[in-house]
Amino acid sequence: MSLLLQYTLIFASVLILVALGGCFSEHSGVINLGLEGIMIMGALGGALTMRYLGENSSHFVTILAVVLVSAAVGMVYSCLLAVACINFKADQTLVGTALNLLGTAGATVIVKAINTAANPDDVSSIIQYAGAKKAFTVNIGSFEFSWFMLITALLLVASYVLLYKTRFGLRLMACGEHPQAADSVGINVYKMRWAGVLISGFLGGLGGIVFITAGVSEWRFEYGVAGFGFLSLAVMIFGQWKPQRIALAALLFGFFRALGNVYTGFAFLKVMNLPSSVYNMLPYIISLIVLAFTSKNSRAPKAEGIPYDKGQR
């Protein structure tokens, strides 16, 4: 049972971080379908940081460096979305899709080049970080607590406060609801949308490193992030673009994803003799069912996906 709780919380942490990233971006008026690509690039930055820091650095330095690098790489990569969609008014769906394809392919090429430079016979896209990963976990009895869980909880609270209790958050949401009205009272819509996309890159990149360190000590980057970027979008929609609801939705989806890791520990599930792939499919099946019944009642920001034209009224 503790193992189920452990995996539920860590997978929910990934979904919360990435869904919050999508939430900030869409509240500003930009649909970020490139979360999958942002995740893999953030994961690449964090994994390389762990690889080069190794086991010799203090745990605090390792945690701080990995978190900052993952978030920074995610932010830098999200700039591609911001430039294309905010400054050049490109189609946000197409740009997001392109970022997803480029992210996995780019990360694979970079890792293979690094591995080949270190060892000409190594053409894999794998990065190992077994030693450095220990900095993120603390054993509490049979439960393996991850510092990422605490970081996620803090960022969840910070996101709620930022969106609903600060002038910045209210201005950001105004740009996603009626950018012309926001502009008329002196709010710079372009800057607010840039801020929303950069925050989504920060949280998405951090979600990527949390995902690849969940239970494993190496990652093959050509696998991407197994659709967790799109699953996070489902969590965001099911959570109605509200941090507190996103957290509850993430726990639900995280629970079903965790079953794929621990189902052999439950006798009634083991006796069913279902392949592990069925359990791995559960969160995606559940997301289809949930969205089929709830998406018609969803209320997305009114101006999301619509490029802002300052001259339009």
Counting DSSP H helices and E strands in the chain, the numbers are 13, 4
pLDDT in tens, 202-238: 999 999 999 999 988 899 999 999 899 999 999 999 9
Q: Which residue has the higher pLDDT, 114 or 264?
A: 114
pTM across the whole model: 0.95
Give the whole-angstrom CA distance, residue 313 versus residue 297. Answer: 28
And the tokens for 127?
């990065």
pLDDT in tens, 47-98: 999 999 988 889 999 999 999 999 999 999 999 999 999 999 999 999 999 9
The three-class DSSP label of residue 144 is strand
Give the whole-angstrom CA distance, residue 173 versus residue 164. Answer: 9
Helix axes 147-164, 2-28, angle to 10 degrees: 30
Q: Which domains does the chain have, with CATH numbers?
A: 2-297 (1.10.3470)
Contact between 210 and 17 under an 8 Å Cβ cutoff? The reply is yes
Give the whole-angstrom CA distance, residue 65 versus residue 50. Answer: 8
